[in-house]
Amino acid sequence: MKLPRRQFLHLTAGTAILPAIVRAQSYPTRPVHIIVGFPAGLAADVVARLVADPLSQRIGVPVIVENRPGAAGNIGTEVVVRSAPDGYTLLGAISGNAINAALYPNLTFNFVRDTAAVALLGFTPYVMLVNPFVPAKTIPEFIAYAKRNPAKVNMASPGSGTAPHLSGELFKMMTGLTTVHVPYRANFLPDLISGQVQVAFIAVAPVLSYIQSGQLRVLGVTSPARMDVLPDIPAIAEFVPGYEGSGWMGVCAPKNTPSTVVDWLNKEITAVIADPAMKKRLIAAGVEPTPMTPDQFSTLIVDAADKWAKVIKFAGIKPD
């Protein structure tokens, strides 16, 4: 029997959307786990938990944040990489995952190759801080000061190869400065405030009160443009063209997760971070909400891994 053209087009259109309908009916039917490779209370955990509850309400099943800390996030990442690619085990990914691909050459997995980008939550810009004993009040003044005092400026970080450390090393690489890196396993803010170390790159949320009280001076932000929370503070790129040293947070899945599941999760997560109340909460946590498609986020991951591999090689960085 020959079908009229209009009826044929309706049938083919219905066939085209069938996979999405099947996906919606079959996923999710049980709790979704977001694995965070860091202890509870750290930024990656806090942001994952901010997003988990409203995401659970949208998708109709519990979204459980599970902490698997250790080895700079590699333990949690491997849990996800080895999980079934069915959308029920996701990774709370951060820029450090892309860094680790170059920093740890003997890993049994490759974050870039073995995960599927789902959704970017946002960028996590850092601030470049100095203590009041440092005479520089601007980026150009700091560059001049550090060049007059080669190897006498100490740069604190939360550990070798961490994203804040690499943001500082990128700054050094692009300005030709020589500073002494001082990695800390504990809180370095008391030493920064007292003048034991002179400069650090750090997320804005935990230091905002120190900036406002005058205990620490912020010279610039690592994002390409100024931050909403610090509108009067210039981007470092305004003085060092091309500089961009922000971290980011997002959600990834095991490779080979069906594209219908990835695309659907992207849509739901994007809707969560687009909510005005959620945007305010993320900004307060130091995250600049930035929705991306899975393809755009995948490109960001590949580019970040390549960029930070060059910085790691240039600075000769080894993991702690």
CATH number for the domain that contains residue 305: 3.40.190.150
Residue the block writes with tokens 């491997």: 78
> For 257, which DSSP code?
-
Q: What is the pLDDT of residue 4?
A: 52
Which of 248, 131, 246 shows the shortest CA–CA distance to 197? 131
| Nearest to 268, CA basis, from 94, 87, 115, 125 | 87
Range of the domain at 212: 126-238
Instruction: Residue 133: give its domain's CATH number.
Output: 3.40.190.10
Within a domain: 1 = no
Q: For residues 101 and 143, state if they share a domain.
A: no
Which alpha helices (DSSP H) does 4-138 contain, by range?
A: 5-26, 43-59, 74-81, 95-103, 111-114
Distance CA 320, CA 313 (A): 16
Look up residue 258 and give its two tokens: 């069906």
Q: Give 105's pLDDT tier (boundaries 50, 70, 90).
A: confident
Question: Which of 196-228 are b and which e, b meaning 16 or more Cβ less than 10 Å from the residue's Cβ?
Answer: ebbbbbbbbbebbebbeeebbbbbbbbbbebbe
Residue 229 shares a structural domain with residue 251? no
Residues 12 and 108 in one domain: yes
Kindly state whether residue 2 falls inside one of the protein's structural domains: no
Q: Report residue 105: phi and psi, to 5°.
A: -70, -15
What would the pLDDT profile of 17-76 be if each residue is shown by its tens digit?
Answer: 444 444 445 899 999 999 999 999 888 999 999 999 999 999 999 999 999 999 999 999
193 with 234, same domain: the answer is yes
- Structural domain count, the chain: 2
Is residue 13 domain-resident? yes
> pTM value?
0.87
Could you please report the per-residue DSSP string of 7-27?
HHHHHHHHHHHHHHHHHHHHS
* Cβ contact 249:297 at 8 Å: no
In a shared domain, residues 230 and 161:
yes
> Of the residues 178, 207, 238, which one is the last residue of a structural domain?
238
Domain shared by 36 and 114, yes or no? yes
pLDDT tens for 242-254 read 999 999 999 999 9
Cα atoms in the 13 Å half-sphere on the side-chain side of 55: 27
Could you tell me if 125 and 285 are in contact, meaning their C-beta atoms sit under 8 angstroms apart?
no
